[in-house]
Chains A and B, each alone.
Chain A
Amino acid sequence: MAEKSGADILVETLLSLGVDTVFGYPGGAVLPIYDALYQHPTIKHILVRHEQAATHAAEGYARSTGKPGVVLVTSGPGATNAVTGITDALMDSIPMVVITGQVATNLIGTDAFQEADTIGITRHCTKHNYLVKNPSDLAQVVQEAFHIATQGRPGPVVIDIPKNVQVAAAEFSSHRGLENNRYQPQTEGDYQVINQAAEMIMAAKAPVFYTGGGIINSGPEASETLIELAQLVGCPVTSTLMGLGAFPAASDQWLGMLGMHGTYEANMAMNKADLVICLGARFDDRITGRIDAFSPNSKKIHVDIDRSSINKTIRVDLPVVGDVGRVMEQLLAVLKGRRFSSPGYEEWWSRIAGWRATNCLEYPENKEEIMPQLAIRKLWEATHERDPIITTEVGQHQMWAAQHFDFEKPNKWLTSGGLGTMGYGLPAAIGAQLGDPDALVIDIAGEASIQMNIQELGTATQYRLPVKLFILNNEYMGMVRQWQELTYESRYSNSYSDSLPDFVKLAESYGWTGILIEDPADLEAGIEKMLATDGPVLVDCRVAKLANCFPMIPSGAAHTEMLLSPEDVKGTMDDQAKALV
């Protein structure tokens, strides 16, 4: 066997694993790897402007393509800058492999230049991490890292490689395959348990499917299976923020998103159901509201590939550990085998019709200012036939996008759910565009969030990515302002976006096209212009400054205590509620 340097072993192993795109930023401790990349142009390296953006771009790439995202950053600040995106990927179960440079092994622990304890820092924000001390271990570690990142509940894996390990040589054969024995998560559901689940479904009078990001992670076939299963059972379907698109919004059975900013009908259905079938979701606090009031009269089935998600916050009656796509197939087979046909749930659907009649997503008409909800709806109308990929930042605009943009297919909705990371959307859009160069990719942003990774305008320019950036500009950190109205009698402590840049000029200075929309009458034309313009386009859409996101379950409240409009807002809360996020 021939000897190769650690850097070459790394790059060749990446190639053998099918890696075609790496998001990164060079620095002292990864120079040998960058030199190896220079020799291997088959791997496309995307030079971001900040390491955090590399991680979000990798997430966007992973979420839209289903393939793991790959990040390459240097030691010290390179690694610490990546931590937010790594944590984001952990919370949202995004497959990602992050390669960090490290100071040479003999310098570790000496507070060397650009040394950080990357393994220590990332131990609890990764699914697993490695410090590689010998180049002969590299190939196996990299293969195992990809296996761990993508199998079971996906997540980020960090490989920390000291610079001398990149330079030193070891024997390497590219044909060496690896059998991974130590990480083999259970994907198949236990048939006995699935039979019990089928019996519970057959006995239910008011069932609801509560679906989550696990279905997206399970692959597009899982969405097909969900549709088939939902059609067979004939009951309503709701989803978490992360699961949007797994079930088509055009279906009659679709209730919309549930949770804090979910629809009235979805939350009421969860509250009144006699059977909740949780598929690849994790009873997050944004979903449950007050735990003791969450779906009080239902039996609960929870399908999850991660056993630690089960009974973490909500006690369930029937846990099913397995891959949600596979378990749904098994469940379908059992239900069909028992000749189950939907009882129609007439009474259940008539109650749902009553809740739907509240039209909870309605918003006031406004001739003077653009209502942000209207802007999103118009964006949907103008683009939905092109199956766009939508990314978002975090805040009111994100929730409005989730409420007013209809998703029909999986992998088209990329958002930071668990960690709620402002600055996610633009790099994620860049990653998604690289994964699908022909797709229409739009980042729906807010003027505050977008400034957290605004430097990535340059990345899109450099790689000629025709990303569209649609900023709902209300000159506020809108969600902070909304909570201050709810909880602190509208004392707007530091929630005003002062000293904003001229976004159009900013776009132009980066080589983008900038469009300003101020008048409701210009909204549709502005969107058309954005879509008709080649290359990257930024739209600064000035929207009603004080519009708020409803419906809303305030923190510490039950699903039945939704605020449907500004009139329901009291302006203060007790300490119990104030203590909740």
Chain B
Amino acid sequence: MHIKDEIVERHVLAVLVDNEAGILARIAGMFTSRGYNIESLTVADISEDHAISRITIATNGPPHVIEQIIAQLDRLVPVHSVRDLTESGPHVQRELALVKVAGKGENRIEAMRLADAYRARIVDASTESFIFEITGTPGKIETFVALMREVGLVEVGRTGVVAISRGPDAA
């Protein structure tokens, strides 16, 4: 007997929650306990009174699993709303990364050229290193990081994706 894999889709969910102790563990734990995947998860409070946080979760799974993920999130008591941005139409996705590169000579010049092409900003520099700040879609950041590997990547920190629907309305 062998275990079969299913075809998966990537979805980005925006979840509004009460900003209370343990909420992140509750959300993240629900994913692990039911065997769902988290590609990235970001959370920050977004309301004037700091009562509500917005969690952006990039997840993947077969369509019926995505549907379950949304329903399971929605029934958690501190969850106010769950929106599937991937499903509900055009939306903007952005991620920020800080990328440290070290090297001298040709590598250093190439790193700067690439950073320029990718519109990464230099936020720290020494005679033998740079820290670039780059914002974009996860795909753009992935490509940039892959290029930096060839010219002396030291470390990278990524925020995970945040997303918001296009147009005048809230999702």
Contact = CB atoms under 8 A, between A and B. Distances in A.
B117 interface: no
B110 interface: no
A306 B33 contact: no
B1 A579 contact: yes
Interface string B63-74: 010011001101
A131 B77 contact: no
Contacts, number: 40
A308 B75 contact: yes
B67 A311 contact: yes
Contacts of A45: none
Contact of A124 (B33, B68, B80): B33
A123 B22 contact: yes
- Range class of the B interface residue count: 20 to 34
B26 A123 contact: yes
A182 B74 CA distance: 12
Q: Is the interface of A mostly helix, strand, loop or mixed?
A: loop
Contacts of A119: 22
Contact of B77 (A128, A310, A312, A579): A128
A126 B156 CA distance: 38
Contact of B1 (A124, A315, A575): A575
Contacts of B33: 124
B90 interface: no
B59 to A, nearest CB: 16
A182 B72 CA distance: 16
B65 to A, nearest CB: 10
Contact of A123 (B25, B68, B71): B25
B9 to A, nearest CB: 16
Interface in A121-160: 123-124, 127-128, 131, 148
Contacts of A131: 21-22
Interface string B1-27: 100000000000000001001100110
A576 interface: yes
Contact of A312 (B22, B68, B76, B78): B68
Interface residues of A, number: 21
B30 to A, nearest CB: 7
A183 B68 contact: no
Given A124-B30, A575-B1, A579-B1, A308 B77 contact: no
A128 B33 CA distance: 15
A306 B72 CA distance: 9
B75 A576 contact: no
A307 interface: yes
A424 B26 CA distance: 28
* The 5 residue pairs across chains A and B that have the minimum distance between CB atoms: A308-B71, A575-B1, A128-B77, A124-B33, A307-B71
Given A307-B75, A308-B71, A308-B74, 6 more contacts: A127-B77, A182-B80, A308-B68, A308-B75, A311-B64, A311-B68
Interface of A: 119-120, 123-124, 127-128, 131, 148, 182-183, 306-308, 310-312, 315, 574-576, 579
Interface of B: 1, 18, 21-22, 25-26, 29-30, 33, 64, 67-68, 71-72, 74-78, 80
13 contacts: A119-B22, A120-B25, A123-B26, A123-B29, A124-B30, A128-B77, A182-B78, A183-B77, A308-B72, A311-B64, A311-B67, A574-B1, A579-B1
